[in-house]
Amino acid sequence: MSAARRATERAATGGDLVDIEERRRDEPAVSAYVERFGNTLTEAGMPRLASRVFAQLLADDDGRMTAAELTDALAVSPAAVSGAVRYLTQVSLIGKERERGSRRDVYVVHTDACHEAIMNRDHLLGQMASGMQAGVDAVGGMETAPGRRLRLSIEFLDFVATSMATMSMEWELRKADIIAGWPPS
């Protein structure tokens, strides 16, 4: 939750409530984290601003921010935020919702964003394997070096897809154990 939204909610309740999370929050440390983790993601191949937006959303109290809030938090242009959230939505790291009673979009980081993004790539593996299969025949089949390379790649993609399905089931069990130990929200 952005500082502006927290202030608005406090004003609406007479200012008497002090958010426990807010008391522990160290804004300079949060800003440093956003830049540091954003740089890590950029070095891993994610576009720079998309990396910073993702890190900012992860660090936000409720993981929900409007484009205007992201623009203010990251000191960038609205057009830059628009491109970054489009990228993050396409790779399933964030979602887009409409604020009730408003025309403004709110960008939401999924609670289990990394898991969801990786698992949503599962269909891509199948598409890649199918596309490569056509290549095996086109290059002369398994009797050729390119055919064998393509076949090995297909087998690897099938292996990864099967492993991901098993890993996803195992993660759901582990995640339930982790969350069970968290304080109620």
Show the tokens assigned to 72: 């203010």
Q: What is the pLDDT of residue 135?
A: 94
Question: Which of helix, strand or coil describes residue 102?
Answer: coil
Q: What is the pLDDT of residue 23?
A: 64
Q: Could you give the maximum distance between any two Cα atoms of the chain, in Å?
A: 77
Is the pTM for the entire model greater than 0.75?
A: no
Q: How far apart are CA 134 and CA 150, in angstroms?
A: 9
Q: What is the pLDDT of residue 83?
A: 96
Q: How far apart are CA 38 and CA 60, in angstroms?
A: 14
Cβ partners under 8 Å of residue 49, min gap 6: 74, 76, 80, 81, 83, 84
What is the chain's pLDDT, residue by residue, as a tens digit (185 residues)?
455 554 445 444 454 444 555 568 899 999 999 999 999 999 999 999 999 999 999 999 999 999 999 999 999 999 999 999 999 999 889 999 987 888 889 999 988 888 888 887 777 888 899 999 999 999 999 999 999 999 999 999 999 989 998 999 999 999 999 999 888 86
Q: By C-alpha distance, which of 116, 122, 154 is closest to 135?
A: 154
Q: How far apart are CA 76 and CA 164, in angstroms?
A: 37
Question: Which of helix, strand or coil describes residue 185?
Answer: coil
